[in-house]
Amino acid sequence: MHEEISISVEQSSDAKVLIISVAARLAGMHPQTLRQYDRLGLVQPGRAGGGGRRYSERDVALLREVQKLSQEEGVNLAGIKRIIGLEQLVGDLQERVRELEHELADAYARLAQFESPYGRGDLVRQERPSTALVVWRPRRASDR
């Protein structure tokens, strides 16, 4: 008798709640395959208090992707590990780009406050570039 398992968790949840037998069944693999993939570093399950592996829904999706690359695309495990690493790097870089875009937007907003005729007026826009040379000398105590 083959029973169907369906678990309702948030999409791509990172909660490490699935025991190895459930994760293996959801991924369509043998639990020993999951242990081997863990040893190879293809997936990093969490650990329960007793040392048992715990998988997330995201881990199961990754295991399905590993299986697809291996069986359908013919990619070896070393290639799959490289692909996973590059995909993680791309995700990290995309997140960093979003952070930098947010910081840039904030910087433009702050700059607009300085340039605004209604703002503080710390910066004054010149119509023509100046060729004037300005020499700055610090004040001496005797000049005060």
**pLDDT tens string 8-43:** 334 557 788 899 999 999 999 999 999 999 999 999
At the topology level, CATH places domain 1-75 in Multidrug-efflux Transporter Regulator; Chain: A; Domain 2 (1.10.1660)
pLDDT at 35: 94
Report DSSP state, residue 46: E
Is residue 135 very low, low, confident or very high in pLDDT (cuts 50, 70, 90)? confident
Q: What ranges do the domains of the chain cover?
A: 1-75, 76-121
What predicted TM-score, i.e. pTM, was given to this entire model? Answer: 0.60
Residue with the bigger pLDDT between 70 and 127: it is 70
Cα–Cα dist 101/4, whole Å = 45
